[in-house]
Structure 1
Amino acid sequence: MSKVRTRYAPSPTGKMHVGNLRSALYEFLIAKHAGGEFMLRIEDTDQERFVEGATEIIYRTMEQAGLVHDEGPDRDGGFGPYVQSERMKTGIYMKYAEELVKKGEAYYCFCEKERLESLKTEIVEGKEIMMYDKHCLSLSEEEVKANLEAGKPFVIRQNIPMEGTTTFHDELYGDITVENAELDDMILIKSDGYPTYNFANVVDDHTMNITHVVRGNEYLSSAPKYQRLYDAFGWESPVYIHLPLITDENHKKLSKRSGHASFEDLLGQGFVTEAVVNFIALLGWSPEENREIFSLEELVQEFDYHRISKSPAVFDMVKLKWMNGEYLKAMDFHRFYEMAEPYLKEAVHKEYDLKKIAAMVKTRIEVFPDIKEHVDFFDGVPEYEISMYAHKKMKTTPESSLEVLRELLPVFEKQEDYSNDALYETLCGYVKEKGCKNGYAMWPVRTAVSGKQMTPGGATELMEVLGREESVARIQAAIAKLEKEL
């Protein structure tokens, strides 16, 4: 086979859906794994669905995800233009449509809206589809010519025979054969002169030497029509790879309201790009080794499209959060702090060392918004029950905690060095003198300065950030609380 060439051909209709990003990622990986080329092509033939700014979203998303294209609208590789509306101006689609008309594989249709609405419909995959009755196929050459010269609006339809079958091959599903009678004469050129998505796809893939076509399995039902176009032109078919459906945790199709529908939504929820890309790579594909964390470079090395499953892939938000947490743990601290800082500033309003707080939470969070619940006590101790001072493992009670805090308060008031190490040494000295375990003293102090059962750092780490004045004030308040409630 010639050099592997894949393309990502999105329509600029809004944010990039997770399913579209997966298609782009797999196309990128297939090309790069084989040492081939990956192309970006913008399919803007559906002018009604065009969204202003959506093309910029496509570029931004692909750049953020690391899916660098070898050629596209901004990188001419000799197969341009790479935007379908610009390609249309060259007359390429009409030229090929007219070629099919001459071959008897397509025909002009002049039917008006009212007539089309009167035709019978069929239910195909849950959708009501109008089946055209080939009315205009019977028009003579003279009638067609007269209609065209009169400027009568028309579309060009594919001419699919009523008898026989059509077979195409998919790498995951094998050979699929359908009855031609089940296929509608789909429109190739619309009344506005634009090609339909289906027709432009086939023409562009062939003329741009695309070898592998990757798309969602919702296009399986259209694949026989594409195959007929390839056969009608006498062109070699590309390798078809139809990807499994992505569902939510309830095995329903992902919806825009579910929060995990688009790449931008996920980044907005505090996920990092590398984790999202890694996670999406595993939505339908499994590596040979039993591992889950892959860099993009490692995915290029490992990716074999024959290991893509036909079964629906479940978008498991719990797993994505776990994976994101692993990426945060491994992340360079400078980059982590840069990304965490806005969340820290939103949660902590007092003048504390945010870098120290960031270091505490780095290994404890899964997504950046988790930061708030971990650090909210720095602004002020929340209301809490004194039963929190009781800890079975530490052998503490509210009563023992009150005694410990009373004894430690004057020590902390005199302490000059409020670094974590110095404070820890002080507490260890107290523990040794008292003849108790570390937790017996650490638990009451941490509870007093935080008012929480779970904190991102230990007692002395928290006190270092809070400083002497605030730490002493919180311990005094804790003593007063315990004295009042015991």
Structure 2
Amino acid sequence: MSDKVRTRFAPSPTGYMHIGNLRTALFEYLIAKHEGGDFLLRIEDTDQARQVEGATEIIYQTLRQVGLNWDEGPDIGGDFGPYVQSERLPMYKGYAEELIKTGHAHYCFCSEEDIEAQRKEAESLGISFKFDDPCKHLSDEEIQQRIAAGEPYVIRQTISNVGETSFDDLVYGHIDFDGDLLDEQILLKSDGFPTYNFANIIDDHTMNVTHVVRGNEYLSSTPKYNLIYDAYGWKRPTYVHVPPVMKDDKHKLSKRNGDASFQDLVAKGYLPEAIINYIALLGWAPATEQEIYTLDELVDVFDVSRISRSPAIFDIEKLTWMNGVYLRGMDEQKYFETVAPYLEKAVKGPYSHKEIAKIIQPRIDVLNQIEEAVDFFDHPGDYDLEMYRHKKMKSNPEIALTSLKAAKAALEQITDWTEENVHETLLALPKEMGLKNGQVLWPVRTAITGKQFTPGGAIEIAFILGKDETLRRIEDGISRLEAAAASAH
């Protein structure tokens, strides 16, 4: 086996990319690249029943979006292909038969009913179930007769008198296991397809994979895998078992429970680079307080010994914060290109999308917040006049009416409608009127947006709306306040 570090991401094409899956791919990529090694992509499609049309394309697309480019794989080839399990089928049967010859596997003709009967018997006796396969005791002659008669069979691992067994894991350390508790797993199914447990051993060895990274739920299966490595006389890989990504203290993240996949998060307006940065920190801690990393920086600092043994909780609020940091860190042009599709959908009026992008950049954390944040440009809110009452701004409907009239008169005098001129005009009013800034700006913002919360203040928004539309909306605010005052008397 090569000294070069080689890791593999081996997903099944069964749908969207789950966050836990993507984190495993990321850790595998970082382990390989930190050591200058190779990152392989292998498609494990032996479970034909669960395959989803187009799922392989989703795997390619997701890995490319987050920058996890593979060195070998089904689409680009390599020296150890094919990289799709269903294209490697003839190989598995040969390897399984080799184990039969050495006494480490056997033919099993038992039906599901036979196994179920044993399970029920164990339950009735109150003991834990471990299938005791009677087919282990069949003679070679009887086996050949039954195969020749077309009787369906599987090839099952043979495990006997193992005793204490152990292995080392880079996350969980040294692990001892009672080998006599291991169940004899199926290696080759009756349809000729290998099980996941068998195929991944053969593939990892024949592809020179040095480090196997997977979820900690496979810790208890690893002794069975090791028996197969040992049976062939192969070197065991280095194991890296990672803790699960959880929704909360008790529940794993799961698409079935409606938890977001990578595709869902992107559709909700999270950036691929923010997602990959965030999931790197799920169950792994850098040596410093730094939280924002490019992929190249992660490659530099990644250290397997800093992977936690504890489950990681997926915190959408933390991801949202991090996404906001990424959005605010973009240069003006890149930010505009990123938000342009959202602005085109949200603002159809004759307003500068570039200027709108400037006011939302400091205030938007997720791209899907844009539409609701800027919808007032086309459709000012049908607001309650009580919105003019603001304790902190020391405003109320009476003060608002006075301020709006003064603002209208002052803004009408502007001949060159620039942000600077709007700024000077509106900020001169409070001093002239003996009011606080908020007592003028809050009523203007309320009148021109109809919303309590907006990205940008009265000055920025008035500049973008333009003179005519700003005056029209202020006039409407004045009319409504006057009508309310009249009806109150």
Counterpart of 2:347, as a letter, is V
Residue of structure 2 equivalent to 1:343: 342
Q: Which moves more between the two structures, 3-12 or 73-82?
A: 73-82
Distance 2:103 2:172 in 1: 31
Residue of structure 2 equivalent to 1:439: 438
**Structure 2 residue 487 is the aligned partner of structure 1 residue 483:** no
Unaligned runs of 5+ in 2: none
Cα separation, partners in 2 of 1:271 and 1:258, compared to 1, 3 Å? farther
Q: Is the 8 A contact 1:212 1:241 kept in 2?
A: yes
Tell me by how many angstroms 1:121 deviates. 5.9
Number of matched pairs: 481
Cα separation, partners in 2 of 1:261 and 1:291, compared to 1, 3 Å? same
Distance 2:408 2:449 in 1: 16
Distance 1:485 1:257 in 2: 53
Distance 1:311 1:121 in 2: 35
Unaligned runs of 5+ in 1: none
Alignment of 1:195-344 (within 5 A): 195-249=194-248, 251-256=250-255, 260-344=259-343
Using the aligned pairs only, state the percent identity.
54
Distance 2:120 2:129 in 1: 4
Cα separation, partners in 2 of 1:396 and 1:111, compared to 1, 3 Å? closer
Distance 1:149 1:390 in 2: 90
- Secondary structure in 2 aligned to 1:57? helix
Distance 1:434 1:192 in 2: 87
Q: Which moves more between the two structures, 250-259 or 169-178?
A: 250-259
In angstroms, what is the RMSD of aligned CA positions? 2.1
For 1:325-349, what per-residue CA distance to the aligned partner results, in whole angstroms no more than 9, with x for missing partners? Answer: 1111012333333332332233333
Q: Is the 8 A contact 1:418 1:463 kept in 2?
A: no
**Structure 2 residue 11 is the aligned partner of structure 1 residue 10:** yes
- Secondary structure in 2 aligned to 1:168? strand
Q: Is the 8 A contact 1:155 1:191 kept in 2?
A: yes
Tell me by how many angstroms 1:437 deviates. 4.1
Q: Is the 8 A contact 2:419 2:463 kept in 1?
A: yes
Tell me by how many angstroms 1:129 deviates. 9.3
Alignment of 1:440-479 (within 5 A): 440-479=439-478
Q: Which moves more between the two structures, 425-434 or 155-164?
A: 425-434
Distance 1:374 1:117 in 2: 59
Residue of structure 2 equivalent to 1:62: 63
Alignment of 1:24-423 (within 5 A): 24-88=25-89, 91-120=90-119, 131-161=130-160, 164-249=163-248, 251-256=250-255, 260-423=259-422
For 1:448-479, what per-residue CA distance to the aligned partner results, in whole angstroms no more than 9, with x for missing partners? Answer: 21122322112121112211221111111111
- Secondary structure in 1 aligned to 2:466? helix
Q: Is the 8 A contact 1:419 1:464 kept in 2?
A: yes
Q: Which moves more between the two structures, 271-280 or 376-385?
A: 376-385
- Secondary structure in 1 aligned to 2:177? strand
Q: Is the 8 A contact 1:259 1:266 kept in 2?
A: no
Distance 1:380 1:123 in 2: 69
Q: Is the 8 A contact 1:18 1:260 kept in 2?
A: no
Q: Which moves more between the two structures, 33-42 or 360-369?
A: 360-369
Distance 2:468 2:406 in 1: 17
Cα separation, partners in 2 of 1:356 and 1:71, compared to 1, 3 Å? same
Distance 1:199 1:155 in 2: 12
Tell me by how many angstroms 1:299 deviates. 0.4
Distance 2:62 2:131 in 1: 39
Distance 1:356 1:122 in 2: 74
Distance 1:118 1:228 in 2: 28
Cα separation, partners in 2 of 1:12 and 1:123, compared to 1, 3 Å? farther
Counterpart of 1:287, as a letter, is P
Distance 1:78 1:123 in 2: 48
Which TM-score applies when normalising by structure 1? 0.94
Tell me by how many angstroms 1:430 deviates. 3.0
For 1:224-256, what per-residue CA distance to the aligned partner results, in whole angstroms no more than 9, with x for missing partners? Answer: 111111111111111111110111135411121
Counterpart of 1:476, as a letter, is E
Q: Is the 8 A contact 2:406 2:429 kept in 1?
A: no
Cα separation, partners in 2 of 1:480 and 1:229, compared to 1, 3 Å? same
Counterpart of 1:237, as a letter, is R
